[in-house]
Amino acid sequence: MEIKENLQKTISDSLKKSLGHKIEPSDIHLEHTQDETMGDIATNVALVLSRKLKKDPKKIAKEIIGGIGKNDLISSSQVADPGFINFKIAPDVYKNVLSVVFTKGDKYGENSNLKGKKIMVEFAQPNPFKAFHIGHLRNIILGESIVRLLEAESAEVIRTNYQGDVGMHIAKCLWAFRKVDSKDYPKTNDEKVALLGKCYSEGARKFEENKKIENEIKEVNKKIYSGEDKEINKLWELGKKWSLDKFQEIYDRVDTTFERQYMESEVMKSCLKHIDEALKKGILKKSEGAVVFEGEKYGLDTRVFLNSEGLPTYEGKELGLAYKEFTDFGKIDLCIHNVAVEQISFFKVTFKVEELLNPELFKDKQYHNAYEFVGLKSGKMSSRKGEVVLGNDILNSAQKRIEKIVKARKNPIISNKDIEIIAVGAIKYSFLRISPFKYLAFDLESSLSFEGDSGPYIQYTYARAKSILREAGGKATDISGYSLFLREVLNSQEELTLLKQISKFPEEVESATSKYSPHIIAEYLFNLAQKFNIFYKKHKVLKADKKDRDARLALVSATAQVIKNGLYLLGIKTVEKM
């Protein structure tokens, strides 16, 4: 049983014994104190009960402490204004955490909170014929971490990706792409997507400048939807393949996979059926030649599902996608759409329409994880004036800078594979260390720093711990041989502080998962790395006497394990040497 769960049960038992009041352990709120001199864990349970029991909260707090009595879990308790109880956890309790870490290994931090739940996470969502930019990079990095957090709580997670392969952006590109001779088609994926980008820019510019060409592009768009033109179909399939091949390179690079990659074109026919059903049920209405949802009576916006030309909008196509997502994999308990804040109104409306169409299938089973936008702290990354910052350019720049930093530091020989791991991990960490619900001003330089709150700093701490263990002749994962003298060592402030931090990891995983906020894990890892480096600077490990050496090696090994587990949840691999 984890420390917090054990303490909740202890308080619950005391309440029943001293006050005759029953409260479920899980309903007792606990939090770590900011000041260790005041204790380790605090509760406001006395304040919560004071109004209900019509008693002074301080008096309730004292009675709870009295009811607990002598306890192996708690070394001391004190009441703080206006009625908080601060508990000091017995040091030996924290020492037992080492056994838990070594027993669970890579699974330390996992739990079964979501066991039996099937959750779909839809993320990444780049559009073929368009560039994979910095915004998509935040999406895929955040989505991957959310998936791993959900899996750590034993959920069955289905990874999906919805990509827009129809629409005006495709038509603008294909209008110009038709003029390119097949003999001039490039060979590499980078060159192919660059050509598509050039064609799109030309088509978009002409669409704005020339009414005749605007009409031509609209005709191309209709032909994409109808599939009636063989030439357009061939170019559409070719351009889509080029885009998807490049996207796959990026997916592989950031270590992301998908069970299913949906395309907008897949849902075209089925969405028309659902729009028609919604019309018949009065959920959608005809308005000026279009089909709309009048959201005012639900406190929502009015949005178009079928335009005046008879083509489904993004809202309309979302109906077809939702039915596929909720039926292709059996019963889904929750579908999380990882999409930026600009689509809040879109999802509020589509969720409502889907719920009205089929409440049993959709009601309370969809969530829009509305993360904030990402941009650059400075314009230095923008080598293409006026164009978006490409995700691949960020990764490439990071790899080159890390390689340069490693060589300048005269580090041990590090493979190109490890340099890539450090670089990708640095970018991922810099994206995830900020709450997803805050604007992210990306700065390449600070993200690659080996000092401070950065991926390389966490990686370096892990590598340092592994180096200590290698020098000691292997990792210490069995503390049974010296459990008797653990009571005599690991009692310094630095050692206990590090142990306490290690013990917090499982609850940080729970918190990050429930809030869809991987930055909680990033912040935890930074604090863990700091506490480890303070401990290592103050205390000898390899040159200590046998008792201290073995116990501290166990602490080093546990720290390395927890850093590895935490980085995995952020989608970051580790390296053994740096």
Residue pLDDT tens, the chain, 578 long: 578 899 999 999 999 988 888 999 999 999 999 888 889 999 999 999 998 889 999 999 999 999 998 888 999 999 999 999 999 999 888 888 888 898 899 999 999 999 999 999 999 999 999 999 999 999 999 999 999 999 999 999 999 999 999 989 999 999 999 999 999 999 999 999 999 999 999 999 999 999 999 999 999 999 999 999 999 999 999 999 999 999 999 999 999 999 999 999 999 889 999 999 999 999 999 999 999 999 999 999 999 999 998 999 999 999 999 999 999 999 999 999 999 999 999 999 999 999 999 999 999 999 999 999 999 887 544 333 345 789 999 999 999 999 998 878 766 678 999 999 999 999 999 999 999 999 999 999 999 999 999 999 999 999 999 999 999 986 555 554 444 445 566 778 899 999 999 999 999 999 999 999 999 999 999 999 999 999 999 999 999 888 788 888 989 999 999 999 999 999 999 999 88
Alpha-carbon separation of residue 312 from 161, 224, 269, 291, 296 (angstroms): 20, 13, 10, 9, 21
Nearest to 348, CA basis, from 404, 291, 393, 303: 303
Nearest to 377, CA basis, from 453, 448, 444, 450: 444
Tokens encoding 242:
């080029």
Q: Burial of 70 by CB count in 10 Å (0-12 exposed, 13-18 middle, 19+ buried)? A: exposed
State the pairing for strand pair 118-122/334-340. parallel
Q: Which residues pair with 287 in a beta bridge?
A: 290
Q: Which residue in this structure is represented by tokens 């077809």? A: 320
Residues in contact with 328: Cβ distance below 8 Å, sequence separation at least 6, in sequence order: 260
Taking each helix axis from N to C terminus, what angle separates 391-408 and 134-152, rounded to the nearest 10 degrees?
A: 80
In 388-452, alpha helices (H): 391-408, 416-432, 444-447
Q: What is the DSSP code (8-state) at residue 133?
A: B
Residue 228 Ramachandran class (φ > 0 left, ψ -120 to 50 alpha, else beta): alpha
Q: Which residues pair with 42 in a beta bridge?
A: 31, 86
Tokens encoding 542:
């390899």
Beta-sheet strands, E only, within 318-425:
334-340, 366-371, 374-376
Distance CA 525, CA 459 (A): 10
- Give residue 57's Cα distance to chain centre: 40
Alpha-carbon separation of residue 40 from 30, 34, 279, 549 (angstroms): 10, 8, 59, 27
What pLDDT is attached to residue 414? 84
Nearest to 98, CA basis, from 501, 517, 570: 501
Nearest to 165, CA basis, from 292, 262, 93: 262
Task: Please state the domain extents for the chain.
Answer: 3-89, 118-371, 381-569
Residue 142 contacts residue 432 (beta carbons within 8 Å): yes
Secondary-structure class of domain 3-89 per CATH: alpha beta
Tokens encoding 107:
């699974």
Altogether, the residues listed in the chain come to a count of 578
What pLDDT is attached to residue 386? 42
Nearest to 552, CA basis, from 505, 503, 485: 485
Distance CA 195, CA 193 (A): 5
Residue 402 contacts residue 456 (beta carbons within 8 Å): yes
Number of DSSP helices (H) and strands (E) in the chain, helices first: 21, 14
Which run of H or E residues covers position 457? helix 455-471
Nearest to 316, CA basis, from 167, 140, 214: 167
Q: Greatest CA span in the chain, whole angstroms? A: 87
Distance CA 103, CA 478 (A): 9
What pLDDT is attached to residue 83? 94
Q: CB 171: neighbour CB atoms within 10 A?
A: 25
What pLDDT is attached to residue 479? 52
What pLDDT is attached to residue 70? 83
Identity of residue 271: C
Q: CATH 3.40.50.620: does it fit domain 118-371?
A: yes
**In CATH, what is the architecture of 381-569?**
Orthogonal Bundle (1.10)
Distance CA 523, CA 434 (A): 9
